[in-house]
Chains A and B, each alone.
With several copies, the nearest count.
Chain A
């Protein structure tokens, strides 16, 4: 990366101090609520209702975390959430990569129509589909299984991922793909060996979208997996709440525990989302 200039508007801020400022803005905007939860998870209920409010906990305590894990099988929730999210992410990526490729590269007669349909289906609020879905899952005998969630979650992220990947695939010079086909790949071979790696930013982003979608969903998880052993995190976290009581500190603790894996995931994968992947490939 040449020190001469950062691309585009970003270049405006390529000066050190300004960049520092930018970083600060970003981090405050993104991290503040997360930090607030973190702090809360270290406070006592009493400190919470104290006035004036305190920002940093006076007497930090891990008791809330203890309680979070003792009151409910939090580790179990984590595990379920993770597996469900992981499975649906993989499924989503696979399916949407294939679909996106078809829409981006093949000359299909009803391309526009198909696109609109894919978008159309995503315009239904899940709430309204709850009951029919429940029946489907029961008839398929999937209630209280991971699959019961994996399928709907996949569909939940499918449209956005597909459309996103379409726009990315269209950005990849066809000749790279052609080269792969000359080298003896099938179209799909070329897709997975060349196009997908070059779209890494898009693919990983799609992956993260799908993962988070699955990680956060509440309504379906509540309805389809009543078996406590299969509860996911959002449902689980609700359980700390009483009919009237809303124990912020404990719930915050649980939330923190819930966010960490996602955070780790992001930190791991953001490294892959690097620019300039296509540099030097094509003359033109």
Chain B
């Protein structure tokens, strides 16, 4: 177990800058989740921490030691590769037991740990197969198992559950949480799954094009996004954005829809008069509105029933917004409705900088 700190971490391929000076302090035993658009440098960062990619600039410390030049095996980390990287010539058991063998763990204990992990991942019956004989999800679980049989200083998980079905993913997710609570190893975890990010993370790191966009607890990240990007990226369906201007105490949309600023930012209305803003509203914050003041005139566009909820896409001014409604709401497409909104949940961003307005 150890802390991990990235200082001005840089990675370039030739002239192409992939990671642009990432600064991040991960406390000992912390569970940090990286999220970000595909290609933003998550895996690369992970691989640099693991020592698999040369570092173009900056430094990485695990615990107190500077590991920039340390070979992977000396860093004592376990990793789940995004592309599995299973040993095709070894059986599942051998794949999972390999590191233990290398570290000279007594074979009886090794077996036991492998079996435990395999059971927990539901691949106990596949232990004698070769990777080539496994399904995608099974391979991914083997990759997972290969990491969790170990007790390293740091766990690195790169989208470890992406090929599992929701149910299984849920189970494994809770197992990981339990594991972390039990042995409290530092974990860096890359995922595209909102639920995983929200439930597992102590802190979520949002990367964008090789830069850190925001770092914070799941709650902060979700409810107080620092930028339009974060707001739009975290949460699914994504946060809605609409242009508006602040006129005489009202949030005024292009089509004349109005919301009382006081309701939106009780006590923090000062100095906003006349500003162009971007209004961010989460889909679940539409719907039954406590007071009629907080409603918007809207025209229903598309209705998507998801079973658990129904997504209603409607237009306000130029922008198409999405509301998440109870499963059995079925408004008529084309219908003119008044869509309620919870003003207190509204986020305001500066139209120019796209940064949040506090």
Contacts and interface: CB of A to CB of B under 8 A. Distances in A.
Q: Do A and B come into direct contact in the complex, CB within 8 Å?
A: yes
Interface of A: 2-5, 173, 175-176, 178-187, 189, 193-194, 197-198, 276-284
B249 to A, nearest CB: 55
Contacts of B47: 178
Contacts of B132: 276, 279-281
B84 A284 contact: yes
Interface string B113-137: 0000000000000000011111010
B343 interface: no
Interface string B128-160: 001111101001000000100000000000000
Given A183-B146, A184-B102, A187-B71, A281 B85 contact: yes
A198 B54 contact: no
B87 A176 contact: yes
27 contacts: A3-B54, A4-B52, A4-B71, A4-B72, A173-B85, A175-B85, A179-B85, A179-B87, A181-B72, A181-B73, A183-B73, A183-B102, A184-B99, A186-B73, A279-B131, A279-B132, A280-B130, A280-B131, A280-B132, A280-B133, A281-B132, A283-B83, A283-B139, A284-B83, A284-B131, A284-B136, A284-B139
Interface string B161-199: 000000000000000000000000000000000000000
Interface in B53-91: 53-54, 71-73, 77-79, 81-89
B229 interface: no
Contact of B87 (A4, A5, A184, A281): A281
Contacts of A184: 73, 99, 102-103
Nearest to A176: B85
A170 to B, nearest CB: 11
A280 B134 contact: yes
A185 B102 contact: yes
B88 A281 contact: yes
Interface of B: 47, 50-54, 71-73, 77-79, 81-89, 98-99, 102-103, 130-134, 136, 139, 146
Contacts of A187: 71
A74 B82 CA distance: 59
A284 B140 CA distance: 8
Most buried by A among B98, B136, B146: B98
B83 A282 contact: yes
A241 B136 CA distance: 65
A259 to B, nearest CB: 32
Given A183-B98, A183-B102, A184-B102, A5 B85 contact: no
A156 to B, nearest CB: 30
A178 B139 contact: no
Nearest to A14: B71
Contacts of B146: 179, 183
Given A280-B139, A283-B82, 11 more contacts: A175-B85, A178-B47, A178-B50, A179-B85, A179-B86, A184-B99, A184-B103, A280-B131, A281-B85, A283-B84, A284-B86
A166 to B, nearest CB: 17
B306 to A, nearest CB: 29
A178 B85 contact: yes
Chain B binding surface, main DSSP class: mixed
A227 to B, nearest CB: 44
Most buried by B among A3, A181, A197, A279: A181
Contacts of A178: 47, 50, 52, 72, 81, 85
Given A282-B83, A284-B86, A183 B99 contact: yes
B131 A180 contact: no
A112 B69 CA distance: 26
A280 B88 contact: yes
A178 to B, nearest CB: 5
Contacts of B86: 179, 280-282, 284
A185 to B, nearest CB: 6
Contacts of A3: 54
Given A179-B81, A180-B98, A284-B131, A279 B88 contact: yes
A4 B53 contact: yes
B88 A278 contact: yes
A182 B77 contact: yes
Nearest to B69: A4
B261 to A, nearest CB: 51
A184 B87 CA distance: 14
Most buried by A among B47, B71, B77, B79: B71
Contacts of B83: 175, 282-284
A4 B136 CA distance: 21
A282 B77 contact: no
Contacts of A185: 73, 102
Top 4 A-B residue pairs of the complex, sorted by shortest distance between their CB atoms: A280-B132, A183-B99, A281-B88, A280-B131
A82 to B, nearest CB: 29
Contacts of B78: 182
A211 to B, nearest CB: 23
